Copies of this chain bind each other. A is one copy, B any other.
Amino acid sequence: MTYTKYLTFCTKEKKQFVNITRTCQEIVDESGIREGFMLVSAMHITAGIWVNDNEYGILNDAMEFLEELAPTNKDYRHHNTGEVNGHAHLKNLLMHHQVILPITKGQLDFGPWQTVFYAEFDGQRNKRVIFKIIGE
């Protein structure tokens, strides 16, 4: 069995984490799938998906860390196209654009602090995420 859903995110900030854990569980519930894998994958190439702790300091540390490694205000080759979001493609590279969430007995099978975040690096516009479940 498979189940597919798409959601659109438009963040208030250019760079922002959005906690989508409850959304993921709701999609599992809708699907009726009790055992399997859920792929959560950004369909745009300037966003990521991250599983970590829902702690304010960590989220800020992570965004600052990515900003230090791939600064927003740097002159990337990509900007020759007229775009100004070269940094967001490199942040995507570091964070990765997808995760697989295990589903066991109809629940996201998480450790005590695991939280799923949509990580926006070039927001304030509509961007889609695919949630696809395979299982039984």
> What's the number of copies of this chain in the assembled complex?
3
Contact of A111 among B77, B78, B128 (CB under 8 A): B128
Closest to A131 in B: B102
Q: Does the CB pair A102–B4 fall under 8 Å? A: yes
Size bracket, chain A contacts:
35 or more
Whether B135 contacts A134 by the Cβ 8 Å rule is: yes
Residues on the B chain within 8 Å of A95, using CB: 93
- State how many angstroms separate the Cβ of A22 from the closest Cβ of chain B: 18
Give min CB distance, A76 to chain B, whole Å: 5
Looking at the assembled complex, report how far the CB atom of A82 sits from the nearest CB atom of chain B, in whole angstroms.
Answer: 11
**What are 12 contact pairs spanning A and B, CB under 8 A?**
A2-B135, A4-B104, A43-B112, A43-B114, A52-B89, A52-B93, A57-B78, A61-B77, A62-B89, A111-B128, A134-B134, A134-B135
Residues of A that sit less than 8 Å from B by CB:
1-2, 4, 35-37, 39, 41-45, 50-53, 55-58, 60-62, 64-66, 69-70, 76-81, 86, 89-90, 92-100, 102, 104, 109-114, 128, 130, 132, 134-136
Closest 10 CB pairs of A and B: A43-B111, A57-B77, A57-B78, A2-B35, A102-B132, A45-B52, A61-B76, A58-B78, A60-B77, A45-B53
